[in-house]
Each structure stands twice: as structure tokens, then as C-alpha cells.
């Protein structure tokens, strides 16, 4: 689990399959309870409080896990309470890519990935399921990338190596 703060109202939460159980996107009530449990865990780790109204864009990739784009709505009536209200938007047809500086560091994964070059940046696409240890090792060298992935896959130059 990795939390990236964009500003005071927006953050990304990366939930890879290495250390987290998958979220249940089929039942809204279950998903909401799972996210509230994650908020409690984040409160312990980062000492931040979650209260109010949140819009969460959830991206689900079967090989990586999930990415949550969390936006805290600035609504005055929720600010003084201890309740959390969540509005979900779930993207199921989603493909996680991985940004990498030097693809040569990942030569041993060649049979498990596709390499793309787009706007002066290298991106990897997983094409096979990896073990937890392999995915953990891969994540040491890459940065998960989930925005504009369809564009990268469509217009990026695929590199055969």
C-alpha cells in the first residue's frame, strides 16, 4: 500500500496484490466498509483524519491490484462530524502500466512484460501473472502508472527486445 498526496484534497492510494487483499467491487456496501477500514489504517500510519464526503475513482487491474484516486469534497456540513460518506466510480476495463527509467534492469522479466516508448518515457505492461515475490521485485524498479494508459498502449511505440 502506497499513499501519494497530490494536494490537501486529492491523493492516490496504490493497493498492489503483494500486501493487500483485493477490494470487492461487486457489492457497494462491502466495498465501502473495506475502504473505511483502509482509512482507519491510514489514520494510524499517517496520523490524518478522514471525515466528510469523498469521491473515489477506483481502477482495478487483475495483475496489479487497485488504485484509488481519492478526492475530499469541501462541504461545510460534513467537516465537524465523524461520519464518512463515499461516492464510488469504478473502472473495471483498466490496464496498469509501469514507468521505468532503465528497462535493461528488468531483462529477467522479458517474457512477462511488453515494453513501450511514449513521449520520451518507457512503460511496461504485464502480460502474465507474477508471483508475489516477482511483483515485489518488479515494483522496486518501476513506478505504477494508471492515467492515460489506453493512449500509451495505442500510440506508444512497442519495443521488441
pLDDT tens, position by position, 56-107: 998 888 888 888 999 998 776 555 567 888 999 988 778 889 999 999 999 8
Question: Which three-class secondary structure state does DSSP give residue 48?
Answer: coil
**Residues contacting residue 58 through CB under 8 Å, at least 6 positions apart:** 23, 25, 31, 66, 67, 68, 69, 88, 89, 90, 91
Measure the CA–CA gap between 144 and 124, rounded to whole angstroms.
9
Q: Give residue 76's pLDDT.
A: 64
The rounded Cα 123 to chain-centroid distance in angstroms is 15
Considering the four listed CATH numbers 1.10.760.10, 3.30.70.1950, 3.90.960.10, 3.40.50.300, the one that applies to the domain covering 97-159 is 3.30.70.1950
Q: Give residue 18's pLDDT.
A: 61
Q: In what order do the strands lie in the sheet with 10-16?
A: 2-5, 10-16, 65-73, 52-61, 84-91
For 105-119, 127-141, 145-159, which range has the lowest pLDDT when averaged over its residues?
127-141
Q: Give residue 48's pLDDT.
A: 84
For the chain, percent of residues with pLDDT exceeding 70:
93
For residue 153, which of 91, 93, 90, 97 has the smallest C-alpha distance?
Answer: 97
Amino acid at each position: 500500500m502506497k499513499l501519494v498526496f497530490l494536494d490537501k484534497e486529492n491523493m492516490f492510494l496504490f493497493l498492489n496484490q503483494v500486501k493487500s487483499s483485493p477490494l470487492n467491487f461487486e457489492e457497494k456496501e462491502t466495498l465501502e466498509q473495506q475502504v473505511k477500514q483502509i482509512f482507519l489504517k491510514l489514520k494510524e500510519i499517517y496520523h490524518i483524519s478522514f471525515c466528510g464526503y469523498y469521491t473515489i475513482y477506483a481502477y482495478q487491474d487483475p495483475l496489479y491490484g487497485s488504485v484509488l484516486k481519492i478526492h475530499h469534497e469541501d462541504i461545510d456540513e460534513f467537516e465537524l462530524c465523524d461520519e464518512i460518506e463515499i461516492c464510488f466510480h469504478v473502472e473495471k476495463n483498466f490496464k496498469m502500466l509501469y514507468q521505468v527509467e532503465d528497462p535493461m534492469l528488468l531483462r529477467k522479466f522479458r517474457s512477462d512484460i511488453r515494453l513501450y516508448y511514449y513521449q520520451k518515457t518507457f512503460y511496461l505492461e504485464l502480460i502474465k501473472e507474477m508471483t508475489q515475490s516477482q511483483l515485489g521485485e518488479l515494483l522496486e524498479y518501476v513506478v505504477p502508472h494508471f492515467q492515460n494508459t489506453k493512449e500509451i498502449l495505442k500510440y506508444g511505440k512497442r519495443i521488441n527486445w
